[in-house]
């Protein structure tokens, strides 16, 4: 093929397809695990602690329920993992809960899940960063007493990094995630070894404290209610499990199978860490109270309660300080990474919703930095509001968190049941039907579990803050419905318009070049206008100043343009209205003509120069567009400063999750 035709082909089809080009950037399981697991794994930093904390309300004796609560959380977790393995196989396109629900349960359910997910992303940032602040505060007391300021600063920093555009790379993500896994699992193994093999005592700093029940001893129903509350807080450990189901396309082939395996691996590790930490907490006799000042007895004056993980690390590595600091650092790091996943996921979900016209269309094109920036700033803003409103207290924020998570879990599993029912109706092969029935059973079990958790969460958390999350979801649902309704209305309007008036081809083009001075931008506009060879071509100027206008007319006549210059009078020294009136007259004289107005414009490079140029032109253009049968053509004149505007970077957050590694992303 000749060189020319290659160039022609490039011109015609642009760059080659993404799918061809980026195949080699797909993730092997060992890289996919850290990429998708930070959110789910990071929750073991706070979930077990929250179980103890909730139980503390009933006094120290209630701590005996902790392992049992932990086991139920593990059961739910395994059920959810098993369920999502079915999702992954059934929807390898990576649409996630929103797709599964929309397809199987309809638009409204899909939108409910979308609202829940959007709220979740905000809370992921707030909870993860609040927990990171508490973790660092366990090592540095100054941070503990300035948690809110620290958390806000961290969110601002994360926002700045994401606005600037970070190039994620699987390797860079892998290091802290594996370090966290090695750290926590290593600590558990070492701790259990010390306790049960060597039989050593490992008292935590709070081992000798007592815990007063908040409202005296609880019994019967009240105690059961409290245990359920502890359980629903513990279910925070499940957040982030669904991440892999959104990222199936980024896996190496066989995609669905690799994703399912990774999901299982992640579930196994999370469950191990969760139960290990609960056992270690009992061995080291950590005492965590909801209100340390009033509940803890025997604590020294001014005692600042550290996180459970920090206290365990302190006890297990008693004399080996680097061990404690390692655990603290990797825990804080993975929590920040978890927050960062929200910064990646939020705009991606936004773009999917925009494609379905629930959000402004321009969010649809993912390469668009500005739309991404708006999403990122909005996410950060809401997260900061939450952090400030709830004093960066993980315990308070978690009350809001779990509702949204389990709304999407439950809806998604219900959708999967429908999915299998539909498939079963169409499938004849017995073996295949058997597999489908098995899958349906798993999703059905998952649905039962998650629905039960959702009910428990709603009952035990509603007045504690879950209502805020539900209200926010309702608000988002209403907003997105309204946006969709608007787009539908516009679409109907166009269809109706098409039926009403079959498009009439304009017969002639009447070109008007707007002239304010006779300088190069005007001459260029005139030359371009002439190049379009319109049926009528005229130059028009508005007389806002007699002297200037007379000078302009003289100069015009000298130039021998052959194009007539018309002067429109403007008794009130306006520009817009006289031009509008003139264009209207041209239109009404020749209704089948299309009028094209050429406006010379300066293109400037510095933001403040915008205020000094083109303002009248912009406003005129805005008004002209309201006239039917009028086109507005901007003829730019690039001032020297415009060359200072460089091409913006086009790195987009979340690229790696879509199967693009950093270097490819940059082209």
- Interacting stretch for its own copies, rule CB under 8 A, among 333-341, 404-412, 436-444, 539-547? 539-547
Burial-class residue 500 by CB neighbours within 10 Å (0-12, 13-18, 19+).
Answer: exposed
Q: Which of 248, 570, 653, 656: binder of its own copies (CB under 8 A)?
A: 570
Distance CA 558, CA 22 (A): 61
Q: Give the span between the Cα atoms of 289 and 299, in whole angstroms.
A: 12
Biggest CA–CA distance in the chain, Å, is 105
CB 568 → its own copies: shortest distance, Å? Answer: 4
User: What gap in Å lies between CA 134 and CA 307, rounded to an integer?
Assistant: 7
Work out which of 105, 371, 400, 436 binds its own copies, going by CB under 8 A. 371
# of chain residues touching its own copies (CB under 8 A): 102
- Residue 318 vs 616, nearer CB to its own copies: 616
Q: Are strands 508-514 and 593-603 parallel, antiparallel or unpaired?
A: parallel
Q: Which of residues 322-341 bind its own copies (CB under 8 A)?
A: none
CB of 144 to its own copies, least distance (A): 40
Alpha-carbon gap, residue 251 to 249, rounded angstroms: 6
Site for its own copies in 615-654 (CB under 8 A): 615-616, 619, 621, 625-628, 630-636, 638-640, 642, 645, 647, 650, 652
Q: Calculate ∠ Cα 254-259-262, nearest 5°.
A: 125
Q: In terms of CB distance, is 182 or 625 closer to its own copies? A: 625
Interface stretch with its own copies, choices 108-116, 216-224, 279-287, 568-576 (CB under 8 A): 568-576
Quote the least distance from Cβ 663 to its own copies, whole Å: 14
Binding of its own copies by 657 (CB under 8 A): no
Contact call for residues 457 and 408 (beta carbons, < 8 A):
no
In angstroms, the CA 340 to CA 132 distance is 12
Out of 126, 133, 333, 594, name the contact with its own copies by CB under 8 A. 594
Which residues is 537 bridged to in the sheet? 511
Compute the distance between CA of residue 404 and CA of residue 120 in angstroms, rounded to an integer: 6
Contact between 571 and its own copies per CB under 8 A:
yes
Task: Indicate which single residue of 64, 171, 365, 557 sits in contact with its own copies (rule: CB under 8 A).
Answer: 365
- For 200, the 3-state DSSP assignment is coil
Taking CB under 8 A as the rule, does residue 287 contact its own copies?
no
How far apart are CB 169 and its own copies at their closest, in Å? Answer: 17
In whole angstroms, how close is the CB of 626 to its own copies at the nearest point?
6
User: Min. distance of Cβ 307 from its own copies in angstroms?
Assistant: 40
Does position 198 interact with its own copies (CB under 8 A)? The reply is: no
Question: Is residue 613 near its own copies by the rule CB under 8 A?
Answer: yes
Q: Which is nearer to its own copies, 145 or 362 (CB)?
A: 362
Residue 124 beta carbon to its own copies: minimum distance, rounded to whole angstroms: 24
Q: Which of 16, 216, 220, 322 binds its own copies (CB under 8 A)?
A: 16
User: Does 205 participate in binding its own copies (rule CB under 8 A)?
Assistant: no
Name beta bridge partners: 538: 512
CB atoms closer than 10 angstroms to residue 531 = 8
Q: In this structure, is the dihedral angle defined by the CA atoms of residues 83, 84, 88 and 91, taken in order, positive or negative?
A: positive
Distances (CA, A) of 250 to 27, 32, 246, 345, 576: 6, 8, 9, 14, 54
Residue 361 touches its own copies, criterion: CB under 8 A: yes
Q: Is it true that the peptide bond before 254 is cis, omega within 30 degrees of 0?
A: yes
Q: Which is nearer to its own copies, 545 or 663 (CB)?
A: 545
CB of 643 to its own copies, least distance (A): 8
- The nearest distance, CB 646 to its own copies, in angstroms, is 10
Residues 19-78, interacting with its own copies (CB under 8 A): 21-22
**Residue 76 in contact with residue 449, Cβ under 8 Å?**
yes
d(CA 176, CA 337) in angstroms, rounded, equals 9
d(CA 341, CA 327): 21
Answer yes or no: are the C-beta atoms of 344 and 250 closer than 8 Å.
no
Check residue 662 for interaction with its own copies (CB under 8 A).
no
In this chain, which of 167, 567, 584, 662 binds its own copies, going by CB under 8 A?
567
- Contact positions with its own copies (CB under 8 A) in 481-510: 483, 486-487, 490, 493-494, 497-498, 503, 505-509
Summary count for the chain: helices (H), strands (E): 25, 7
Chain positions 121 to 140 lying near its own copies, rule: CB under 8 A, are: none
Shortest Å distance, C-beta 311 to its own copies: 47
The Cα angle at residue 355 between residues 354 and 357, in degrees rounded to 5: 60
State the Cα–Cα distance between residues 204 and 316, nearest whole angstrom: 8
Question: Does residue 296 touch its own copies according to CB under 8 A?
Answer: no
SS3 569: strand
Nearest distance in Å: CB 578, its own copies? 6
**Interface with its own copies includes 11 (CB under 8 A)?**
yes
């Amino acid at each position: 093929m000749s060189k020319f035709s290659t160039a022609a082909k490039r011109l015609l089809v642009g760059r080659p397809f993404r799918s061809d080009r980026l195949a080699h950037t797909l993730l092997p399981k060992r890289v996919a695990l850290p990429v998708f697991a930070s959110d789910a794994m990071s929750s073991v930093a706070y979930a077990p602690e929250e179980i103890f904390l909730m139980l503390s309300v009933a006094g120290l004796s209630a701590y005996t329920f902790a392992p049992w609560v932990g086991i139920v959380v593990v059961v739910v977790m395994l059920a959810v993992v098993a369920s999502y393995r079915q999702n992954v196989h059934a929807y390898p396109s990576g649409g996630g809960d929103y797709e599964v629900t929309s397809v199987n349960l309809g638009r409204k359910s899909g939108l409910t899940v979308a609202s829940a997910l959007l709220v979740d992303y905000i809370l992921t940032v707030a909870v993860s960063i609040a927990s990171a602040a508490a973790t660092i505060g366990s090592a540095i007391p100054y941070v503990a007493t300035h948690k809110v300021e620290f958390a806000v600063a961290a969110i601002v920093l994360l926002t700045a990094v994401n606005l600037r555009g970070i190039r994620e790379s699987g390797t860079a993500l892998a290091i802290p995630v594996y370090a966290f896994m090695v750290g926590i699992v290593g600590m558990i193994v070492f701790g259990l070894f010390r306790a049960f093999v060597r039989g050593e005592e490992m008292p935590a700093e709070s081992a000798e404290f007592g815990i007063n029940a908040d409202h005296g001893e609880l019994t019967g129903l009240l105690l059961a209610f409290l245990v359920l509350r502890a359980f629903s807080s513990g279910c925070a450990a499940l957040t982030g499990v669904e991440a892999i189901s959104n990222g199936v396309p980024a896996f190496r082939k066989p995609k669905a199978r690799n994703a399912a395996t990774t999901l299982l691996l992640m579930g196994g590790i999370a469950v191990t860490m969760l139960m290990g930490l609960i056992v270690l907490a009992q061995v080291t006799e950590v005492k965590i109270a909801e209100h340390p000042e009033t509940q803890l007895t025997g604590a020294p004056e001014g005692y600042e309660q550290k996180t459970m993980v920090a206290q365990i690390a302190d006890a297990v590595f008693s004399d080996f300080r680097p061990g404690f600091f390692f655990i603290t650092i990797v825990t804080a790091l993975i929590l920040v990474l978890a927050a960062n996943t929200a910064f990646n996921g939020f705009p991606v979900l936004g773009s999917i919703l925009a494609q379905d016209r629930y959000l402004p269309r321009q969010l649809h094109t993912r390469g668009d930095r500005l739309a991404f920036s708006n999403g990122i700033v909005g996410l950060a803003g809401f997260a900061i509001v939450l952090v400030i409103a709830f004093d960066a207290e993980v315990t308070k924020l978690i009350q809001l968190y779990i509702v949204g998570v389990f709304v999407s879990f439950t809806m998604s599993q219900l959708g999967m049941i429908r999915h299998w029912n539909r498939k079963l109706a169409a499938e004849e092969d017995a073996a295949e039907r058997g597999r489908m029935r098995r899958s349906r059973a798993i999703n059905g079990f998952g649905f039962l579990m998650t629905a039960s958790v959702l009910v428990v969460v709603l009952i035990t958390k509603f007045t504690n803050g879950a209502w805020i999350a539900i209200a926010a979801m309702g608000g988002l649902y209403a907003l997105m419905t309204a946006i969709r309704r608007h787009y539908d209305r516009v679409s109907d309007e166009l269809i109706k318009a098409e039926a009403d008036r079959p498009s009439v081809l304009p017969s002639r083009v009447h070109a008007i070049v707007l002239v304010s001075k006779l300088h190069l931008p005007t001459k260029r506009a005139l030359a371009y206008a002439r190049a379009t060879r319109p049926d009528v071509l005229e130059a028009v100027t508005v007389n806002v100043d007699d002297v200037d206008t007379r000078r302009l007319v003289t100069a015009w006549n000298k130039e021998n343009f052959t194009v007539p210059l018309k002067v429109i009078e403007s008794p009130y020294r306006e520009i817009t209205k006289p031009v509008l009136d003139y264009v209207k007259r041209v239109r009404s004289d020749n209704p089948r003509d299309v009028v094209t107005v050429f406006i010379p414009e300066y293109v400037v490079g510095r933001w403040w120069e915008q205020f000094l140029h083109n303002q009248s032109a912009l406003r005129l253009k805005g008004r002209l567009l309201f006239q039917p049968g009028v086109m507005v053509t901007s003829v730019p004149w690039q001032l020297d400063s415009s060359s200072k505007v460089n091409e913006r970077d086009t790195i987009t957050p979340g690229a790696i999750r879509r199967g693009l590694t950093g270097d490819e992303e940059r082209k």
